[in-house]
Structure 1
Amino acid sequence: MTTTDKKKFFIALFSVLISLLISCNGRGHFYTLKIIPSGDGWGYEIRINNRSYIHQPFIPAVEGNLPFSDKKTARKTGRIVIEKLKDNQPPGLTKEEIDKILKEN
């Protein structure tokens, strides 16, 4: 292996390690968010270590089974839930939190 090849190898290895560190929290949990179609709108699914943890086809904390009207709002809501999980908080959202998310979009 030449010096240039070794440098390329170590740069690639370092990049992979940094990516893993960024995507994993201290407990080694790997969170993924998937936006899913739901009726006439969108929902989200949160997976932890590639296992379904939360399947949310409708807007939480809102009466009725209403999907999100756009992917952006579903994604933003799912990201907030993931942040709560990473902070060891319950993943539930209040009506006030949902109202704030919906008003911002």
Structure 2
Amino acid sequence: MKMKISKKKAYVIALLAIVGITAGIYTRHYYRQHEMLKVEIKPFKTGNGWGYNVMVDKKIYIHQETIPAFAGNQSFKSEEDAIKTGNLVIKKMIAGNLLPALSAEEVMGLGIRPTLSAH
């Protein structure tokens, strides 16, 4: 048995379907956009150099005053070195390591060398 649908009803059904799909896509996009966290590096001056904070949604997530992976309390020589190291930490966080540790090789790979030798 064939059902007959008037053109007007067909247009209304099509329009409702389009509105429903569009609303669903918008809602999904809206919630995904609001699930994203803003992560950034904020360098800061220390007593003898530079350090950095990894900020997540404007809150300090990691506070790093010294060069990681090396003995001693050595600050970064420059703001640029602190930022480069912080950016590597963020890359590791994005890769799924929420508390990333850096090796001496990774830090030296950024061109950063400690000034003091470990005893």
Q: Please confirm whether the aligned pair reaches a TM-score higher than 0.5, indicating the same fold.
A: yes
Separation in 2, partners of 1:103, 1:42: 13
TM-score (normalizing by structure 1): 0.69
Larger Rg: 1 or 2?
2
Alpha carbons of structure 1 residues 94 and 27: separation in structure 2 relative to 1, 3 Å: farther
Q: Under a length normalisation based on structure 2, what TM-score does the superposition of the two structures give? A: 0.61
**Which residue pairs with 2:88 in the alignment?**
80
User: Once the 2 structures are TM-superposed, how far is the Cα of residue 82 of structure 1 from its aligned partner?
Assistant: 0.6
Indicate the SS of the match to 2:111. helix
Match of 1:31 among 28, 33, 39: 39
For 1:13, the equivalent position in structure 2 comes to none
Segments of structure 2 that go 5 or more residues without pairing to the other structure are 1-32, 114-119
Q: Could you tell me how far apart the structure 2 residues matched to 1:26 and 1:59 are?
A: 34
- Give the superposed CA RMSD: 2.3
Q: Secondary structure at the match of 1:63?
A: coil
2:114 is the alignment partner of 1:95? no
Deviant stretches of 4+, over 2 Å: none
Identity of aligned residues (%): 34
Deviation at 1:51, TM superposition (A): 1.2
Q: What is the aligned length?
A: 81
1:103/1:57 Cα in 2 relative to 1: closer, same or farther (>3 Å)?
closer
